[in-house]
Amino acid sequence: MLHTPDSNMILASASPSRAAMLRAAGLNFEIEAADLDEAAIRDVLNADDKCPDPGDVAEVLARAKAETISAQNPDATVIGADQILTLDGEIFEKPPDMDAARQTLLKLKGRTHHLHACVCVARNGQGVWSHGEAAHLTMRDFSAEFLGAYLAAEGDSVLDSVGAYKLESRGVQLFSEIKGDYFTVLGLPLVALLNYLRNEGALQA
């Protein structure tokens, strides 16, 4: 693992997949998840704009996470990220239980949905950089038998994903077509983040 010039790095997210991506890329960091009322933030955005751009929503949430933890750790480089799933203008939430996960997958079945992911870096309580990307995923018209077997095999792990799937595991079998960056689908535009950290001297160039 790289010993970075800026070893005081924090991931402001409890997402296992985001942490796994950063570890696999060789980053040293701590995890300190931001305790935010994301639903309240979305309500405010909806009140200001009846149809807010999902990319903007992802950026606001990513920035809020990063700035919240950065205010508590002003000397650290704090990484915040968020991802929004939309289908026909509807913004999806993470399924609270397996029944909700099944309903999410049935809604997405045979259709193309969109994932909007944003990553933000904050220092001294202020966001200093952000980057957003979108991916477009088409689910195949899978059978009821496949859906049942998939949920049984994956179990509660699907509840960690807003779409009730993980592309890095059996979830890839749900799809007939994917357009977009792999890391964006996983919830973190990683290549852009690494480029930024290198340019800032936080990673070896």
Q: What is the tens place of the pLDDT at every residue in 160-177?
A: 999 999 999 999 999 999
Please tell me the chain's helix, strand, coil percentages from 3-state DSSP, rounded to the nearest 5: 40, 25, 35
% of the chain with per-residue pLDDT over 90: 81
Section 15-37 average pLDDT: 92
Residue with tokens 């800026």: 6
pLDDT of residue 49: 61
Please say if the pLDDT value at position 50 is more than 90: no
Q: What is the tens place of the pLDDT at every residue in 76-97?
A: 999 999 999 999 988 999 999 9
Strand partners, 137: 113, 178
Burial 109-134 (b: 16+ CB within 10 A, else e): eeeebbbbbbbbbbbeeebbbbbbbb
pLDDT of residue 152: 97
Distance of alpha carbon 62 from alpha carbon 85, whole angstroms: 14
Domain ranges of the chain: 9-199
pLDDT of residue 44: 73
Domain 9-199 has CATH 3.90.950.10: yes
| Cα-trace Rg, the chain | 17
- pTM for the full model? 0.89
CB 85 within 8 A of CB 115: yes
pLDDT of residue 198: 95
CB 44 within 8 A of CB 112: no
Residues designated as active site: 82
Please say if the pLDDT value at position 1 is more than 50: no
